[in-house]
């Protein structure tokens, strides 16, 4: 305990606030990540099946969605966060704190995850799709039984990479008033020059990334067949 007091006195002086910041970051990652997972997975599937040669080829749909994703991916997250302030206020009633950070986090994560899902699905052996079509399987059956089921290892990797990226985005959102560990580190570590706050925040974020990576590798091994 004496060693902790010497190494991180400013953390120990505000344990409740530090814990609250950790919980806020966890909330942002899980809530915004869950929404982005559902929508991003759907967009990734649509990109895959509507592309040229896909089972539901539709070049118009693919072109619109592809360009929209490229547009949002090209916008730096800090700028996107600022640009969405009016929309965020309209949807959730505030543009600050963890509540106000969720919408920008979702908007910043969906394009990234959609492209990750598309890359995972297009790597699937097309012979499996052709075999399913020859046996009379419909588009939805092929999507769920072939594309998604057979691509589980690749989708696990895509989800892991996206979650790690999302953890970084939550810290960035916190740095501009979004709450969580990013906000905690800026308010105390940077503005008040409390170096131990910065170091402990970095360690916690690294631990979170390592945990996500470990779980992702475990899921990838479990789904590989």
- In this prediction, residues 120-148 reach a mean pLDDT of 88
Mean pLDDT (the chain, rounded) = 88
pLDDT tens, residue by residue, 149-192 = 989 999 999 999 999 999 999 988 876 677 888 888 888 887 78
Architecture of domain 17-223: Orthogonal Bundle (1.10)
* pLDDT above 80: residue 10: no
Closest CA to 37 of 87, 99, 110: 110
What 82-91 contacts at long range (C-beta under 8 Å, 24+ apart), as own/partner pairs, is 82/176
Quote the CA–CA distance of 207 and 215 in Å, as a whole number.
12
Quote the CA–CA distance of 42 and 30 in Å, as a whole number.
18
- In this prediction, residues 40-55 reach a mean pLDDT of 93
* pLDDT above 90: residue 11: no
The structure tokens 């649509």 sit at 46
């Amino acid at each position: 305990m004496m060693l902790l007091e010497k190494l991180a006195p400013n953390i120990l002086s505000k344990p409740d606030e530090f814990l609250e910041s950790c919980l806020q970051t966890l909330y942002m990652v899980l809530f915004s990540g869950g929404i982005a997972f559902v929508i991003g997975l759907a967009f990734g599937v649509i990109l895959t099946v509507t592309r040229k040669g896909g089972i539901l080829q539709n070049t118009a749909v693919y072109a619109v969605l592809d360009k929209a994703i490229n547009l949002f991916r090209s916008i730096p997250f800090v700028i996107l966060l600022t640009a969405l302030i009016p929309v965020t206020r309209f949807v959730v009633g505030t543009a600050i704190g963890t509540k106000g950070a969720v919408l920008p986090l979702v908007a910043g994560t969906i394009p990234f995850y959609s492209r990750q899902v598309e890359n995972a699905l297009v790597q699937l052996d097309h012979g499996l799709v052709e075999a399913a079509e020859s046996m009379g399987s419909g588009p939805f059956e092929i999507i769920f039984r072939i594309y998604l089921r057979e691509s589980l290892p690749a989708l696990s990797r895509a989800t892991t990479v996206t979650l790690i990226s999302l953890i970084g985005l939550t810290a960035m959102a916190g740095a501009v008033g979004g709450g969580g560990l990013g906000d905690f580190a800026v308010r105390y570590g940077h503005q008040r020059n409390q170096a131990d706050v910065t170091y402990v925040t970095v360690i916690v974020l690294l631990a979170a990334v390592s945990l996500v990576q470990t779980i992702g590798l475990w899921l990838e091994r479990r789904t590989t067949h």
